[in-house]
Amino acid sequence: MHDMRFTLPGQDLNREPFAMKSPDFQKKCEVMITDRGYKCRITNTVSISSQEKLFLLRIVDPVERQLFNFRPGQFLMLEVPGYGEAPISISSDNSNHEFIELCIRKAGHVTSAMFEARQGAIVSIRGPFGTAFPMEAMEGSNVLLVAGGLGIAPVRAPLYWISNHRDKYKNVYLLYGAKEPSQLLFSYQFEEWQKVSNVQLMTIVEKPDESWKGRTGLITSLFGEFSFDSKKTFAIVCGPPIMFQFVCNYLDGKGIPMNRMFVSLERRMHCGMGKCCRCMVGSTFTCLDGPVFDYWSVMNLKEAI
């Protein structure tokens, strides 16, 4: 008898509004929908060394172009449809909404596909994700930027920020080291940084060639060449993990507090949203709590470096 009265057709479960409606992706809303990328056109590519290229991307939709706001130090997920996604740090001026600059080394599946992409090709970006360098907190202090190799890519964003607000910062030093002279990236901008942005630039290479007339050695040997007030200095350090240790330990010895040294960690994120756990260091997500950490937090993270 009960069976007769009790009918439970398939759609009955849907009677309550718990079947989730698919969101309207055509609607331009303030919040970013993280599973959908922004369409980007590659407007220009610049070969800056044998391995690295600088890509200039322009978001196709004018509304989305204005909505894409990032802070120096954040990263985005670059997607070449069909090939995959890769996390890339943003190395452009965040006040410039017209173009996003990405400095990419040909290292894997996605970046190789990117290197084959021609001007005018359309790729997708999601983001920005992660934490940023606390540029406001550094105001009124000296800033020490230390970059090793490809580490110049994430350092370029705070460098642009500083040049836009140059009067708010005291002395700014950029120490840049690479293996070989040909691997010093953005050498065409060195003069601009020194003269326009008033940054004291020092470069050094490990293995000089015949044409190299500059300094030779490890990046830590540059610290002997100038003096700074360690109580009023912030440091931004980007580069290979082994460099963090040497540079940060040296700066620690010089008296810069550990929470004023900022490093940018590298992990292979797959989602950027703290779900896939691929970027976890200890119990910290590099994509949510990083990639920018102060050195104090990194020291306490096991397996971080």
From the list 274, 245, 272, 298, the residue with the least C-alpha distance to 87 is 272
Residue 290 engages another protein in binding (rule: CB under 8 A) = no
Closer by beta carbon to another protein, 201 or else 273:
273
Residue ranges in 26-85 that form contacts with another protein under rule CB under 8 A: 29, 31-37, 79, 81-85
Cα(146)–Cα(124) distance, integer angstroms: 31
How many residues bind another protein (CB under 8 A)? The answer is 64
- The vertex-67 CA angle with 66 and 70, nearest 5°, equals 100
Among 117, 201, 202, 276, binds another protein (CB under 8 A): 276
- Cis status of the peptide bond prior to 291, with omega within 30 of 0: yes
Q: Are 90 and 77 in contact (CB under 8 A)?
A: no
Among 28, 96, 119, 122, binds another protein (CB under 8 A): 122
Residue 214 engages another protein in binding (rule: CB under 8 A) = no
Q: How far is the CB of 266 from another protein (least distance, A)?
A: 6
- Cis status of the peptide bond prior to 128, with omega within 30 of 0: yes
Residue ranges in 238-267 that form contacts with another protein under rule CB under 8 A: 266-267
Among 76, 86, 157, 256, binds another protein (CB under 8 A): 86
Structure tokens at 187: 């050498």
What is the contact surface with another protein in residues (CB under 8 A)?
A: 2-3, 5-10, 12-14, 16-23, 25, 29, 31-37, 79, 81-86, 105, 107-108, 111, 120-122, 124, 266-268, 270-271, 273-278, 280-285, 288-289, 302-303
